[in-house]
Structure 1
Amino acid sequence: MKRWMPSWPLSLAVFCFWLLMNSEISWGHTVLGAILAIVVPLFAARLDREFAQIGRLRQAPRMLLILLLDIVHSNITVARQVLGDERKIHPGFIWVPLDIANIHGIAALTSIITLTPGTVSSVLSDDRRHLLVHVLNLQDADKIIAHIKQRYEATLMEIFP
């Protein structure tokens, strides 16, 4: 069964999304959705060679709360910067050295950085040891790197060992 259905949650999601994307439910859409629900996970299993290993999740709610507060704070900060004197804004790029090795944790970190206004993840180095981040107002690169590593990367390393 695992050979034909490597991920039943993915199959169920593909099937449901297929039906939701169509304006009507018919036999043809249902059959095509079932075929896609079988085929898509088979190809996805071949593409994804690194499976997510989940560690301790006890820090996840705290990190999500911190992220939410950081997003609100960053929105206010960016709004002040954009509405204020533009000459005080100094955008730039910084390379953030990564201690996290799990690709799923790195993906979560890049998403968190991009979700936070004023920062955007740009490039992951080929060796996955450095992440290039664009910062809207780059005053102190070391402070920004320490902020990312302490608030997000450390917790993600517990969640994705």
Structure 2
Amino acid sequence: MSLQLFLNFALAFVWMFLSSNYTSTGFIIGYLLGIVLLFAMRRFLETRLYIYRVWALVKLTMLFLKELVLANIQVLKVVLKPKLDMQPAFFAYPTVLTKEWEITLLSSLITLTPGTVVVHVSDDAKTLYVHAIDISDVDEAIAAIRNSFEKAILEVSES
């Protein structure tokens, strides 16, 4: 990925110098042309085009913001109820993520979402122990995390 990014910047500078356009517009045009050239040469590259990973990162960020807003609304509903009928619980979340940064990111995303906290990661880093402030179905919560955050992290990290 870093080689592709370096190549794209180098192509942008080459375009800027060849067109004698030393402005940001010239650089942006060169950068976009560099993306087109990298896309055309993608079969010669070892990994997938870095733009796909950048797009997956943007999607992960948007997913987190959406989940953040929804979780805040859920916590607000729980707090504003006249009678607290919460069902707090601890549950074990088995993860398929293997890299340390992926597990750390998943733990952070879960913890930053209101109403949930990762309290421990197992020694083999295969299980996260999560506390939820109000949860009715543990299997549903596990499936929700797997189909949202974990899936998006896998999209970002795959080569």
**TM-score, normalising length from structure 2?**
0.63
Kindly indicate whether residue 69 of structure 2 is the aligned counterpart of residue 72 of structure 1. Answer: yes
Structure 1 counterpart of 2:57: 60
1:96 corresponds to which of 84, 93, 96? 93
State the number of aligned residues. Answer: 108
Q: Distance in 1 between matches of 2:85 and 2:140?
A: 18
Q: Structure 1 unaligned segments of length 5 or more: list them.
A: 1-53
Q: Which of structures 1 and 2 has the larger relative contact order (alpha carbons within 8 angstroms, sep 6+)?
A: 1
Letter in 2 for 1:147: A
Shift of 1:69: 1.2
Q: Distance in 1 between matches of 2:76 and 2:110?
A: 17
Contact 2:59–2:152 (Cα < 8 Å) also in 1: no
Shift of 1:61: 0.7
Q: Distance in 2 between matches of 1:86 and 1:70?
A: 25
1:105 corresponds to which of 102, 105, 109? 102
Q: Distance in 1 between matches of 2:130 and 2:98?
A: 17
Deviations 1:32-59 (A, max 9, x none): xxxxxxxxxxxxxxxxxxxxxx993321
Q: Distance in 2 between matches of 1:83 and 1:159?
A: 37
Letter in 2 for 1:64: T
Letter in 1 for 2:108: S
SS of 1:154 mapped into structure 2: helix
Contact 1:56–1:159 (Cα < 8 Å) also in 2: yes
Letter in 1 for 2:95: L
RMSD over equivalenced CA pairs, Å:
1.7
Q: Structure 2 unaligned segments of length 5 or more: list them.
A: 1-49
Structure 2 counterpart of 1:144: 141
Q: Which has the higher helix share?
A: 2
**TM-score, normalising length from structure 1?**
0.63
Deviations 1:96-149 (A, max 9, x none): 000000110100000100110010111000011100000011200001001111
Shift of 1:63: 1.5
- Over the matched positions of the two proteins, sequence identity in percent amounts to 32
Runs of 4+ residues deviating >4 angstroms: none
User: What are the residue-to-residue correspondences of 1:22-37 with 2, within 5 Å?
Assistant: none
2:127 corresponds to which of 126, 130, 139? 130
Letter in 2 for 1:105: E
